Each structure stands twice: as C-alpha cells, then as structure tokens.
Amino acid sequence: MKKMLPESELARDERFVRSKIEDQIFDPRGAKIAQRNTGPAKMATDRPAAAERSRSLMHGIFVGEIQALEGAGRTCFDFDDTEAPFQLKLDMARQCWDESRHCEISIKLGDHMGAEIGEYSENTFLYAAACNPDPVFRLCGVNRALEGLAIDVFSTMKEFGTESGDPVLEFCEDWMLADEVTHVKMGSDWLRRLTEKDPDRRERALEFQRTVDSIFNLGGFRGDDEENVIQLARRFRELAGFTEQENDSLSALARESTQQARQMAEMASAAADQS
Amino acid sequence: MARVTVTPDPFTLVPFDAAEIAALVEDVAAAVEFPLDIDISVEVDEELFPPLTGHMSDIVDGTAQLWVSVANLENPRVRRTFAPEQARPDVAVMLLRAKDRLSEDFADAPPDPQLDRGERAAWDIYAFGRAERFGFAVRRPRELYGFRLQHGFTDVADAAFERCWNAPTMTYAGILEICKETGAADRGVSKVPIDILRQK
C-alpha cells in the first residue's frame, strides 16, 4: 500500500464532486456579496436560507469527518515506530473509530435535514493538512488546528439545535463534541512528548498549526462575532487544553482574516467596477 | 411582448441564459395551470450564490412578479452552473403561490416581505405538496426540515405539516390558524427582515 497518499488519490464514489478552492475565490459574485448586508452569518432560524445553510454546513461536516478518518488512518500507516510510537498509532486508531461514528452520525443528521450524500461539492483541503511528512506537524495541523475547528463547528451546530428546538441535532452534536475534545488533548499530549527535547521542532510545528488555523478562518468563517458562521468555542477549547492566550491569539487571527477578506472584496469590487 | 420576461438579460456574473430560464418558467406555468392571461416577470438576483437561496411571489398591477436567488437555479455541486432539474420545483412553488394570490382565498395576505417566517413556511409547504401532485420532483424531508425550523420539532408541527402538504385548498386564514396551533405565531419579531437577501 502506498505511503503518503496525496489528496488527489482519495477514493470516492460517483456521488461525490470535488470543488477547487480557486472556483470559490474567482467567483465574481463574492465581491458583490461582500458589499451587501445578507444578515448575520451566525446560524439561527431567523436567518435567510436557514435550512439550506444548515444542510450545506452539515454536508461540509460530513465530508470533513471522512477526511479526518482518512488523515488519522494515514498517520497509523505512514510512519514507522521510530517516527511515530506505537502508542500514538493506537490513539490514532481510536480516533479512526470516533471519526467513523461521526461519519455515520453526520449521514443520519443529513437525512434528518433532508440532504443527500454528495448533494454539495467537497473540497479536500482538510485532508491536505493531514499530508505533512512530519508526524508532529501533522498532529499539530490535524489534532490541534482541525480538531480545534471541529470543537467550534460542533459547538455552533449544537447551539443552533438548541435555538431551533431540534433535540436530534443538539444531542448528536454534543456527543461528537465530546470526542473532539479528546482528539485535541491527544494532539497536545503527543506534541509535548515527541518534542520534549526539541523545542525548535515544537515551535515550527506550532507555526504550522497557526498556518492551518489561519486557512480555516476562511476570511471570516470563524470568529467571536455574529458576522462569523462558526463561533469560537472558548469554554470547550479550554477543556481541550488550549490556554486563554491561545484562544485570544486565534480570535485575533480570525478578526485579521475577516478584515483581510473585506479588504480583498473591496479591491475586487473596485477592479470589477473599473473593467 | 412575451408572456414571461426574465431579468437580467444578459446575465453578467453567471453564464445563465435568460431565454432558457423564460422557457422553463413558461413550461412550468403550463404544468401548474397558471392563468394564461397573467404576465410573469422574473427577477433573478445573480449576485447571490449557494446556499443563499430564496424566492418571493407577488402580484403587482395584474402581473406575477417573481424574485429568485440565482442559488435556487444553480447546481450546488458545480458553481455557476444552471440546474434546470433543481429549478423546476422551486419555480412551480413560486408560480403556485402567485396563483394563490390571484384567488380570493389569499386576498388578505400581505406582500411576501411582510409575511412572517412561520406563515411563509406553511404557505410554501401547501405549494410544495401541490407541486408534488403536479409531478415535480419535490423532496419532502427537505421541506419538512425547513417547516420544523419555523414551527418546531414537535408532533403538533409535524401534523400541521401533513395538513399543509396534503391540503387540496387552503386560505390565508388557514395559514394563520396553523401558525397559532404550532406556536409559530407567538415567536418574537426577528431583527432580521425576511426579505434581507432581496435588499441591495
């Protein structure tokens, strides 16, 4: 079996359609929409297209779970025992079990919302973060950055379930949220153990985590405000072992991303108006 | 002048063809038995994109004025691609609601921007049920979820959904009654206008 599988070789059946990030970036509507008030982005029943937005996000969570399963599975296989201790691989195997359940739960939640598998496109940049050849970087990118994002996403969806009075969504998200806290703690634990005698490697791995965090702020996708779709779940992040300083730093990064996205939209709009 | 007019023409942000959309609307109008003597004006907001879906139907000066997000006409798997099979049921619902507005049964109904979310959800379900019976590929679980978001995840709401879906006829007063029954009428007024996507 091939080691270090690139994202282009991920196996999917004919239901799945992969999107490219550049299709989103170069969609001329992005600049127009950025200048309009389409209401608060935070999920709520009184937001426009609330049902369609939650379905679309749920499908994004579902394909994210598939990729998280693939990423954890690859970490079990891609490294020998000197690069990644057997106990770490056992933790990743346990994570695979969790992610598999999350896939099944997400499918059921999609059914509950009236979505179909493959109804929305899939982008694979989550898996891309799990392709780093250094297991410590991979753990930082996946278990701390992405599983940290999963905490924010599940907490947001759980709140949406509470707000809409949807007990199915609320409980399912809560159960998955508990697993994500464990996944982050595993990442933090292995980062500390594997870099105990190599602070430089630890710092570079944390820098990689910040890069992944920055990518997944996606121009305002995540943050502390109502204008962000996904809310930073500070309390659950603390339970997972993130410090207040780390949470503040992520929040600042998110605000920066939102601001950058706004500036880019203004520039794109100005360019479009001139042409 | 054609019975169906579509704006913008041409589209500039998505490679959609106004004539193709007009033909689709004409076809769906015939299928739902929309009155032949009523002109139909369709305004497509091409700036919106999935998942920012939405549509509105009103009768102004004897013309059916339909507003729709381009996201309702677009394939959510392939950006900026027209998806007629997806557009048809939504167009059917828009036309059925416009047809309702021409009848005495909905004479008291305020324009779409003034409906509250519960009323709109119940009316949509009444239209989706009929669209399915006209043969359109409607996805019932999807519509049930949208209804529950506004009327609650309760047995009372689900029973109300069934009634709306299966109703051969309905009045605006009936819609209001359903909103009282499920508690949707008691929800506080939202700060987010129902037509916010339409506002530029």
3-state secondary structure chain A: CCCCCCHHHCCCCCCCCECCHHHHHCCCHHHHHHCCCCCCCCCCCCCCCHHHHHHHHHHHHHHHHHHHHHHHHHHHHHCCCCCCCHHHHHHHHHHHHHHHHHHHHHHHHHHHHCCCCCCCCECCHHHHHCCCCCHHHHHHHHHHHHHHHHHHHHHHHHHHHHHHCCHHHHHHHHHHHHHHHHHHHHHHHHHHHHCCCCHHHHHHHHHHHHHHHHHHHCCCCEECCCCCCEECCHHHHHHCCCCHHHHHHHHHHHHHHHHHHHHHHHHHHHHHHHC
Given a cut of 80, whether residue A175 has pLDDT beyond it is yes
- Collect all residues from A whose CB is shorter than 8 A from any CB in B: 17, 19, 23-24, 27-30, 32-33, 36-40, 44-56, 111-115, 118-121, 164-168
Is residue B94 in a domain? yes
Measured between beta carbons, which residues in chain B are less than 8 angstroms from residue A120? 50, 76-77
Is residue B200 in a domain? no
* B32, B82: one domain: yes
* B33, B11: one domain: yes
- Of A30-34, A206-210, A259-263, B187-191, the one with minimum mean pLDDT is A259-263
- Of A212-221, A261-270, B65-74, B163-172, the one with minimum mean pLDDT is A261-270
* B89, B9: one domain: yes
| pLDDT (0 to 100) of residue B85 | 97
pLDDT tens digits, A186-238: 999 999 999 999 999 999 999 999 999 988 887 778 988 888 899 999 999 99
Given a cut of 80, whether residue A76 has pLDDT beyond it is yes
Mean pLDDT of chain B: 97
Boundary (domain end) residue, out of B72, B102, B132: B102
| pLDDT (0 to 100) of residue A257 | 82
Delimit the domains of chain A by residue range.
Answer: 39-266
**A20-41 mean pLDDT:** 89
- Which of residues A136 and A225 earns the better pLDDT score? A136
- Measured CA to CA, the distance from residue A85 to residue A105 in angstroms comes to 30
* B109, B89: one domain: no
| Test mutation, B53, B112, B147, B153, chain A, max A CBs within 10 A | B153
Question: For chain B, what is the domain count?
Answer: 2
Percentage with pLDDT > 90 across chain A: 80
Is residue B40 in a domain? yes
- Residue A121 and residue B149: Cβ atoms within 8 Å? no
* B125, B190: one domain: yes
Given a cut of 80, whether residue A7 has pLDDT beyond it is yes
Looking at domain A39-266, which CATH architecture does it have?
Up-down Bundle (1.20)
* B72, B111: one domain: no
Boundary (domain end) residue, out of B78, B102, B126: B102
Is residue B36 in a domain? yes
**CATH number of residue B63's parent domain:** 3.30.2010
Given a cut of 90, whether residue A24 has pLDDT beyond it is no
CB B35 within 8 A of CB B89: no
Boundary (domain end) residue, out of B48, B68, B102: B102
Measured between beta carbons, which residues in chain A are less than 8 angstroms from residue B192? 39-40, 44, 46-48
Given a cut of 60, whether residue B1 has pLDDT beyond it is no
Is residue B140 in a domain? yes
Question: pTM for the complete prediction?
Answer: 0.94
The pLDDT confidence band at residue A12, using thresholds 50, 70 and 90, is: very high
Is residue B56 in a domain? yes
pLDDT tens digits, B133-185: 999 999 999 999 999 999 999 999 999 999 999 999 999 999 999 999 999 99
* B152, B68: one domain: no
* B137, B178: one domain: yes
* B77, B135: one domain: no
* B95, B11: one domain: yes
* B67, B94: one domain: yes
Structural domain that includes position B51: 4-102
* B187, B115: one domain: yes
Given a cut of 90, whether residue A62 has pLDDT beyond it is yes
- Residue B52 and residue A40: Cβ atoms within 8 Å? no
